Amino acid sequence: MPTRPAPTERQKRLGAELRKMRLAAGRTTEYAAGLLGLDRTKVSNMESGVRATSPDRIRLLASNYDCADEAYVEALLALADSRKRNWWEQFKGALPQGLLDVAELEWFASRLRSYQTVHIPGLLQLSGYARAVFDSALPPLPKSEVELRVMQRLQRQQVLDRDNPVEYVAYVHEWALRMQFGGRRATREQLAYLCEASEREHVEVRVLTVEAGAFPGAGHAVLYATGAVPQLDTVQLDSAHGGEFTHADAQLAKYRAHMDWWHTHTLSPQDSRDLIHTIAQQL
């Protein structure tokens, strides 16, 4: 019997939302199973994202869970729509699923905010800079995988170039601008591109200077993706063992507060560009 593929973060999120909706209504898995004509195991698999579900079943559950938030239900239906094959699926089986999940998260977000303390944000990296980042991994990645990761990272940037580009605010610590991934020339080229990218109407780059002192989330790289509705916001955290995703209400509130802090304490977009230019000239 073929092994069922592991669910993506998007599929797991849909299942988690269906479970949250059921619990808010005070219903049991037995109740859901009866509604859908399934056994409890299949309902549990659906709520963990392992088993797909149809739009009709989502509407049936929402109605019987007394969920009157139509915008939320429509957003859940969009999560369940897997008919279209997307660009990141070409990397399935060749790269860790977490990298594909980040691309999917960014693609469907209505707004993106991130803060970086060591690297230039991935959505704004040039190929040489990205290659230097991946080449620094321990244990070393095979050259073939490094090139695949660079290719996938550059393709992620489509969200900023498509006809309806996502709004993106990138908060970057000054030290990330001074880290010379790939050497002085590669860093200088990267900073020049960062300034160029920040001129786009839908891209905002704001720098936190070293004089700002301590800051929340020190040492972490965080992406806050605004969902189609507030209930579907997601935070992605980078770590040495891969990306982690969270959407618990308390965690979302914490990272919204982090993003607001960075916005208040970073330089304006123009002052940030001036500092980036200055650092590039020093190189």
| Residue range 99-111, pLDDT digits in tens | 999 999 999 999 9
- The answer, yes or no, to whether residue 2 has pLDDT greater than 60, is no
pLDDT at 4: 65
Average pLDDT, the chain: 93
Mean pLDDT confidence for 22-43: 94
CA 32-13-111 angle, to 5 degrees, is: 140
- The answer, yes or no, to whether residue 160 has pLDDT greater than 70, is yes
Query: Which one, of 277, 256, 123, 259, lies nearest residue 191 by Cα?
Result: 277
Percent of the chain surpassing pLDDT 90: 88
pLDDT at 246: 93
pLDDT at 1: 46
Mean pLDDT confidence for 168-189: 95
Instruction: State how far the Cα of 2 lies from the Cα of 120, in Å rounded to an integer.
Output: 41
| 55-64 helix and 70-80 helix, angle to the nearest 10 degrees | 150
pLDDT at 83: 66
Mean pLDDT confidence for 190-213: 96
- The answer, yes or no, to whether residue 261 has pLDDT greater than 60, is yes
Instruction: State how far the Cα of 211 lies from the Cα of 70, in Å rounded to an integer.
Output: 47
Mean pLDDT confidence for 55-62: 94
- The answer, yes or no, to whether residue 81 has pLDDT greater than 90, is no
- The answer, yes or no, to whether residue 153 has pLDDT greater than 80, is yes
- Work out whether the CA dihedral 9, 15, 18, 20 comes out positive or negative: negative
- The answer, yes or no, to whether residue 41 has pLDDT greater than 60, is yes
Strand partners, 207: 172
Contact, 15 vs 46, CB < 8 A? Answer: yes
User: What is the longest distance spanned by two Cα atoms in the chain?
Assistant: 68
Total-model pTM: 0.91
Strand partners, 204: 169
Out of 118-122, 235-239, 251-255, pick the least confident: 235-239
The verdict on whether omega for the bond into residue 142 sits within 30 degrees of 0, i.e. cis, is: no
pLDDT at 241: 66
* Backbone phi and psi for residue 42, each to the nearest 5 degrees, phi listed first: -70, -35
Contacts of 200 (CB under 8 A, 6+ apart): 160, 165
CA 119-280-140 angle, to 5 degrees, is: 35
- The answer, yes or no, to whether residue 150 has pLDDT greater than 70, is yes
- The answer, yes or no, to whether residue 89 has pLDDT greater than 80, is yes
Mean pLDDT confidence for 62-78: 95
* Backbone phi and psi for residue 129, each to the nearest 5 degrees, phi listed first: -65, -45
pLDDT at 243: 75
